[in-house]
Structure 1
Amino acid sequence: MIICHCQNITDSDIHAAIDWMRRSDTDTLITPGKIYRALGKAADCGSCMPLFLATMRSSAALEIPAELTGLRKGAAATGRD
């Protein structure tokens, strides 16, 4: 499915870029900008961003590591944010 019509980016492109980045560096912070750069493209109008982010979030390679799960809850309990 085409996610970004301006740059002709598909959901498969996004998942492949995420998988490549995760294999290259398991600790890398993956952002939409990094995905665009990995694909050799740049964001244009931005209307795809909600669908782009939803596609990113659906990637298994983007899951939060177990040791980081619940950190926000701990910060809220201590009054720190």
Structure 2
Amino acid sequence: MLICHCNVMTEKEIERTIIEMLDEDAWQLIVPAKVYHRMNKRGRCCGCFPNVVETIIRVTEAYHSRAEVHADIVSHLDRVRELRVKFGSRFNERRSKGHRAA
């Protein structure tokens, strides 16, 4: 599946990059900018970043569920999901609809 149409990046390429990063350091914080940097790409319109974040969470959770100790990681990912629901895109840079430039 095509995740980023600006850079023509597929879901499998992104997953492979995330797994490579986790193999180097399983406890590092992975964000879309690090994934793009590793792939020698850059975010252009950045509309794909929410999908990349979901991919990072899914791949990281699967990676760590195969590890020996994963109870703490799963609870941490649940907290991250709660924060995404609480502070998700509904605020959209805290601009109200009446203040749009276009």
Give your verdict on TM over 0.5: yes
The answer for unaligned runs of 5 or more in structure 2 is 80-102
Tell me the TM-score normalized by structure 2: 0.59
Name the % identity. 33
Which amino acid is 1:13 matched to? E
Unaligned runs of 5+ in 1: 73-81
RMSD in angstroms over aligned alpha carbons? 2.2
Q: Secondary structure at the match of 1:6?
A: coil
Alignment of 1:2-21 (within 5 A): 2-21=2-21
Displacement after TM superposition at 1:62 (Å): 6.5
Structure with higher Rg: it is 2
> Within 5 Å, which residues of 2 pair with 1:1-81?
1-59=1-59, 60-61=62-63, 65-68=70-73, 69=75
Are residues 55 and 26 of structure 1, via their aligned partners in 2, closer, same or farther at CA, if it must alter by over 3 Å? closer
Q: Distance in 2 between matches of 1:62 and 1:36?
A: 22
TM-score (norm 1): 0.72
CA contact (8 A) 2:3 2:51 kept: yes
Structure 2 counterpart of 1:47, one-letter code? G
Structure number with higher relative contact order (C-alpha < 8 Å, ≥ 6 residues apart): 1
Map of 2:92 onto structure 1: none
Residue 12 of structure 1, CA deviation: 0.5
How many residues align? The count is: 71
Give the letter aligned to residue 7 of structure 2: Q
Query: 1:67 deviation in Å?
Result: 2.9
